[in-house]
Amino acid sequence: MDRRIGVVVPVGALRGEKSLGVGEFPDIAEFASAVKNMGMGLIQLLPVNDTGFESSPYSALSAFALHPLYIRIGDIEEAASFSQKIKDALEGFEQELRFPHQRILRVKLDLLMKIYSANKEAIIKSAVFGKLAKWIEENPWVKPYAVFKRLKEANEQKSWKEWPPQYRNITYERIEAFWKDESLRGEHVFWVWVQSALDEQFAKAAKAVADAGLILEGDLPILINDDSCDVWAYPEYFYMNLSAGAPPDMYSPNGQNWGFPVYNWHNLAKNNYEWWKNRLKAAEKYYKAYRIDHVLGFFRIWASSRKDLSSSSLMGRFIPYKPILRKDMELLGFDTPKIHWLSYPHIPTSEVWRSLDGLKDANGNNDYETIRQSAEKAFMSCLQRINNEELWWFNDSIKGEKDIIDKDLHPFVQDYLIWAWRNRTLQEYEKGKYSPTWFYRDTRAYNSLSDEQKGKLEALIERQSIASEKAWENQGRKLLAMLKESASMLPCAEDLGEVPDCVPKTLNKLKILGLRVVRWAREWDEEGSPFIPLEDYPELSVCTLAVHDSSTMREWWDHEAEQEVFSAFLGQPALPPVYNPGTAKIILKKAASAASLFRVFQIQDILHLSQRYYAPDSKFERVNVPGSVSEFNWTYRLPVTIAEIAKDEELIYAVRELSKVKQGEKK
Q: What is the pLDDT of residues 543-597, one digit of tens each?
A: 999 999 999 999 999 999 999 999 999 999 889 999 999 999 999 999 999 999 9
How many domains does the chain contain in total? 1
What is the structure's pLDDT at 580?
Answer: 97
CA distance 139 to 206: 18
Share the mean pLDDT of the chain. Answer: 94
* H-helix or E-strand spanning residue 600: strand 598-602
Per-residue pLDDT of 586-625, as tens digits, reads 999 999 999 999 999 999 999 999 999 999 999 999 999 9
Whether the pLDDT of residue 464 is over 60: the answer is: yes
**Higher-confidence residue: 249 or 147?**
147
Q: How many CB atoms lie within 10 A of CB 14?
A: 24
Per-residue pLDDT of 114-147, as tens digits, reads 999 999 999 999 999 999 999 999 999 999 999 9
CA distance 537 to 28: 30
3-state secondary structure of 269: helix
Does residue 381 form part of some domain? yes
Per-residue pLDDT of 182-228, as tens digits, reads 999 999 999 999 999 999 999 999 999 999 999 999 999 999 999 99
Question: From the centroid of its chain, how far is CA 501?
Answer: 22
Whether the pLDDT of residue 524 is over 70: the answer is: yes
CA distance 484 to 657: 34
The CA dihedral of 405, 410, 415, 416, to the nearest 10 degrees, is: -120
Does residue 656 form part of some domain? no
* H-helix or E-strand spanning residue 454: helix 451-485
What is the structure's pLDDT at 351?
Answer: 82
Positions of E strands within 223-343: 238-239, 242-246, 256-257, 262-263, 289-293, 301-305, 317-319, 324-325
Least Cα distance to 534 among 478, 469, 593 occurs for 593
What is the structure's pLDDT at 366?
Answer: 60
φ/ψ (deg, to 5) at 127: -70, -20
> Which residues, other chains included, contact 293 with Cβ-Cβ below 8 Å and sequence gap of 6+?
47, 58, 219, 220, 221, 222, 223, 494
Q: Quickly list H helices, 119-141.
A: 120-129, 131-138
| Radius of gyration, alpha carbons of the chain | 28
Does residue 337 form part of some domain? yes
What is the structure's pLDDT at 95?
Answer: 85
Does residue 197 form part of some domain? no
Average pLDDT over residues 394-422: 92
Does residue 403 form part of some domain? yes
DSSP string, 214-277: PEEEEEEESS--SSSHHHHH-GGGEETTEEEEE---SS-TT-EE--PPEE-HHHHHHTTTHHHH
- Per-residue confidence band for 359, with pLDDT thresholds at 50, 70 and 90: low
The residue type of 615 is A
Q: Which domain holds residue 387?
A: 317-451
Q: Decide if 401 contacts 412 (C-beta within 8 A).
A: no
Least Cα distance to 130 among 117, 121, 142 occurs for 121
What is the structure's pLDDT at 91?
Answer: 84
Whether the pLDDT of residue 273 is over 80: the answer is: yes
Q: Which residues partner with 598 through β-bridges?
A: 4, 542
Does residue 438 form part of some domain? yes
Does residue 441 form part of some domain? yes
Per-residue pLDDT of 637-653, as tens digits, reads 999 999 999 999 999 99
Does residue 427 form part of some domain? yes
